[in-house]
Chains A and B, each alone.
Chain A
Amino acid sequence: MCTMIAHKTPIAGSGKGPGGWFDLDQVYIGYDHPFHVPLDHALTIDFVNEGAGPGARTAVELDLASARDLAERILAAVTEAEAYEAAPNSG
């Protein structure tokens, strides 16, 4: 741990890894030395199932600009989705 920037939260959903789809129960978000992307530090997101072994993981490593853009676009999409779901006769 070189930066100490690490977050973890429960989630519900599915992820797809080398072994196919699996249930997700946690997401880890951090900023530290990446494994693959050629940066000193990267924003890392790991979608995992903690009960299913270390291989139950879908991972991304992003540069900071990409991470911020992704977060903003997720929030925008979620806002639109919530409005859609709240509208009468949605679906």
Chain B
Amino acid sequence: MTYQTDAYQGLTAETVSVAGHNGDPVHAYYARPTGPGPFPAVVLFHHLPGWDDWYRHATRVFAHHGFAAVSPDLYCRNGHGEPDDVAARVKAKGGVPDDQVVGDAIKFVEFLRAQQATSGKVALFGTCSGARHAFLSACRGAAVDAVVDCWGGRIVAEDDELTPNQPVAPMDYAADLPCPILGVFGNDDHNPTRDHVDTLEAALRQHGKSYEFHRYEGAGHGFFYHDRPSAYRPEAALDGWAKIWDFLERTLV
């Protein structure tokens, strides 16, 4: 979607509340282009450090690129405060339960499809633990049209890494993935490692899934994060974002 300088452009971004898993009120940041649409839509799953400024920024970036985008605060059941304070509580509890995240994902996909200006096509996007949540939710019933997995950790997991909150390795559900998936990974990442990415790719191939993986040399975990200079790799990030827009153009538009 190449921008023309004489085109009108605007967007609306605000906090909303949506009934999530078990009807719990889950607040979220919702950004969408101004206009009648129809706009394709994206649910963004935040990363382990919490529902932070990068995620609200990324939500607006999706809207800027023509998507109705919503980022639920997956940690909001644990109280409110500064994102890192809330995330510290969630980490101490062993993360959020997978069943709860999947339930929230299904409700947020329904929320987007119910909006007048959306096209009905929906993708799930996530980074780090958020990418794990995106993959898991797509496999477990969130009826979506595409998944973007940015360096999702613990999609591939050994038995001794499973916990009461995360009892199954998401890769075990790979046969149920309902849509194409784009993967963006740094080759210096410790989780997922190159071996983890190879293992996930083999599972997707085995089950005949449509996948597209891009791996970047000299990049580690979180290389899109412009607010973390030690992790940010501008060239890889620019290329990764371009791959995402191209993938979503082909799968959602």
Interface residue ranges, A against B (CB under 8 Å): 1-4, 6, 8, 26, 28, 30, 32-36, 38-41, 44, 46, 48, 50, 53-55, 57, 59
Contact = CB atoms under 8 A, between A and B. Distances in A.
A54 B91 contact: no
A40 B49 contact: no
A40 B222 CA distance: 9
B89 interface: yes
Contacts of A35: 49-50, 52, 83-84, 87
Contact of B95 (A1, A28, A41): A1
Nearest to B49: A35
Given A30-B92, A44-B91, A55-B81, 6 more contacts: A1-B154, A33-B221, A33-B222, A40-B190, A57-B85, A57-B88
Contacts of A33: 47-49, 128, 221-222
Contacts of A2: 48, 128-129, 153-154, 191, 221
A55 B82 contact: yes
Contacts of B220: 40
A57 B166 CA distance: 26
B226 to A, nearest CB: 13
B190 A38 contact: no
A48 B191 contact: no
Interface stretch (B14-22, B170-178, B227-235): B227-235
A16 to B, nearest CB: 15
A49 B68 CA distance: 39
Given A32-B48, A33-B49, A59-B84, A4 B91 contact: no
